[in-house]
Amino acid sequence: MPEVPVFLSTKAHSPSPLTSLSEEEQLFYSTVRRFAEETIAPAVRKMDDDQQMAPGLVQKLAELGLMGIEVPEALGGAGGSFFDAVLAIEAISQVDPGVAVLVDVHNSLVVNAIRRWATEDQRGHWLPRLAEGTVGAYALSEAGAGSDAFALQTRAEKVDGGYRLSGRKLWISNAKEAGLFLVFATLDPTAGYRGITAFFVEKGTPGFTVGRKEDKMGIRASSTCELLLDGCEVPAANLLGEEGKGYKIAIETLNEGRIGIGAQMLGLAGGAWAHAAKYAKERKQFGKAITEFQAVQFSLAEMATEIEAAKLLVYNAARLKDAGQPYVREAAMCKLFASQVAESVASKCVEVFGGNGFVRDYPAEKFYRDAKIGKIYEGTSNMQLMTIAKQVL
């Protein structure tokens, strides 16, 4: 066992230079990566064991501007682009994908939904708070509404001055840390998906409870909880967008979110590769480093090639989104492929580490556990294939 936990030894970078980035983007990426190495890396093992974020970490993310990447500077944010958010998610994921998903959901789903659909008053109220460190959560999924995302049973009914929400949400990322929840409920069940409406619900609202936290295989620093709404009343001002437009809000934000998950899986793969390459140079068998064996060289070369291909897909989808060009197909492709690459590279990383890859003293097994979720949340791989097929056939 090494004297220092290997989670602290993450200085190796991704297998290829960031040649597709501007100088400003490279500086931003390097700043976030350095923050991840210096601030997040020392806490990775404990966060994984404890299944929670390190105390004060969210506030440190906010101080670096990572909780309001696309929030305008006038509202207290960094005034960056969606591509900046993708770079931040990738950089953090090379160290801990569990922390990265908090940043991803908060920015790509919650902040972007508010920027796109909220009123000016709502943006002025919520965006500064989110940029300052109030965590956002996105509450769409239910027991019977996973891939069939709009088979919602959570009900909303009009009452004097607002709405009353009742139902149960499952698998809600950021739920434990969040102060603001975007909750999707059916206002008119007879209207099908056209009855779905989105609401702001603040933590502490009477009738709203964060329930059981899931004991997960991977990304364990990230909380995933059920939400219970029992006659939870919110004012009319907490309606996001228009009544019956919740499905449109969900579709648009999830398309963006899939690029974020692609970036998370890209970063995970890059982190696993960096650890595998570093270990292979240090590990000796038969009197020489295992990187001198062609089989190991070929494995690392294949991993690097897969990562580079995933990077091009993720970056292209993010660039298209920022340019206002169609990107639904590209978002689905990058999430599908990057999640496949993450699982493949993480598995090969375990193999490079050999027996040490199977024990928790080394980072390989955590990357392997973290990788699996990429094919499941924000649209399973089969759902991505359906989307791609509709776009290309």
Q: Which pLDDT score, from 0 to 100, does residue 58 have?
A: 98
Global pTM exceeds 0.85: yes
* Pair of tokens at residue 86: 């993708």
pLDDT band at 56 (very low <50, low <70, confident <90, very high): very high
> pLDDT by residue (tens digit) across 199-209?
999 999 999 99
Q: Identify the residue with better confidence: 4 or 110.
A: 110
Using 50, 70 and 90 to split pLDDT, how confident is the model at 149? confident
Residue 27's CB: how many other CB atoms inside 10 A? 11
pLDDT at 6: 37
As a whole number, the mean pLDDT across the chain is: 94
How do 135-139 and 284-285 pair as beta strands? Answer: unpaired
282 CB-contact burial (10 Å; exposed 0-12 / middle 13-18 / buried 19+): exposed
Look up tokens 């056209």; give the residue.
194
Give dist(CA 117, CA 123) in Å, integer: 9
DSSP 239: E
Using the predicted structure, report yes or no on whether residue 15 has a pLDDT greater than 50.
no
Contacts of 30 (CB under 8 A, 6+ apart): none
Q: Which pLDDT score is estimated for 17?
A: 47
Residue 255 has pLDDT above 60, yes or no: yes
| Residues noted as catalytic | 378
Res 271: pLDDT = 98
The CA-atom distances, in angstroms, between 379 and each of 68, 178, 212, 319, 371 are: 24, 22, 23, 21, 15
Instruction: pLDDT band for 117, please (50, 70, 90 cuts).
Output: very high
pLDDT at 147 (0 to 100): 84
- The proportion of the chain whose per-residue pLDDT surpasses 70, expressed as a percent, equals 95
What is the domain partition of the chain in residue ranges? 6-135, 137-244, 248-392
Question: Which residue in this structure is represented by tokens 């990357």?
Answer: 367
Q: What fold characterizes domain 248-392?
A: Butyryl-CoA Dehydrogenase, subunit A; domain 3 (1.20.140)
Is residue 63 within 8 Å of residue 77, measured between CB atoms? no
Give me the pLDDT at residue 5, please.
35
H or E stretch including 38?
A: none
Architecture of 137-244 per CATH?
Beta Barrel (2.40)
Q: How many whole angstroms separate alpha carbon 337 and alpha carbon 199?
A: 33
Q: Which one of 3.40.50.1100, 1.10.540.10, 3.40.50.300, 3.30.420.10 gives the CATH number of domain 6-135?
A: 1.10.540.10
The tens digit of pLDDT for each residue in 360-377 reads: 999 999 999 999 999 999
